[in-house]
Amino acid sequence: MSEETNGPDDELLAQTAEAEKVSAAARLFDVRRVIGGLFVVYGLIVTLLGIFDSPSEIDKAQGVRINLWMGLAMLALGAFFLLWLRWRPTQVPAAKADPDADAGPRKPVGD
């Protein structure tokens, strides 16, 4: 038994599947996601260190709970990057079928 193919429909499905893979990869490795995630993780660590600072560590910083404030700032920056990613998702440009189609007429090499 032979399978019948729909020709252009199968090609369109293959192109759509490939575009979805590229789009998912572009969204996954968006630099805003990486930077935001790292700032959130490091911000949590530094904030927890700031909450449990000893009096001697606070005295070294001239009475300022610097770890707490910097941790909160890092959390805010990380949240900003992640919210920015949510508000403006990555747009992957559509791939052209023929890269030479917009090149215009070609000149002979000898002219």
Nearest-angstrom CA–CA distance, 106 and 72 = 59
Question: Secondary structure of 36-78 in the HEC alphabet?
Answer: HHHHHHHHHHHHHHHHCCCHHHHHHCCCCCHHHHHHHHHHHHH
The four Cα atoms 91, 84, 34, 15 give a dihedral, to 10 degrees, of: -20
pTM for the structure as a whole = 0.60
Residue 2 confidence (pLDDT): 47
> Model confidence over 67-103: pLDDT tens digits?
999 999 999 999 999 999 888 877 766 666 555 555 5
Nearest-angstrom CA–CA distance, 111 and 107 = 7
Residue 9 confidence (pLDDT): 72
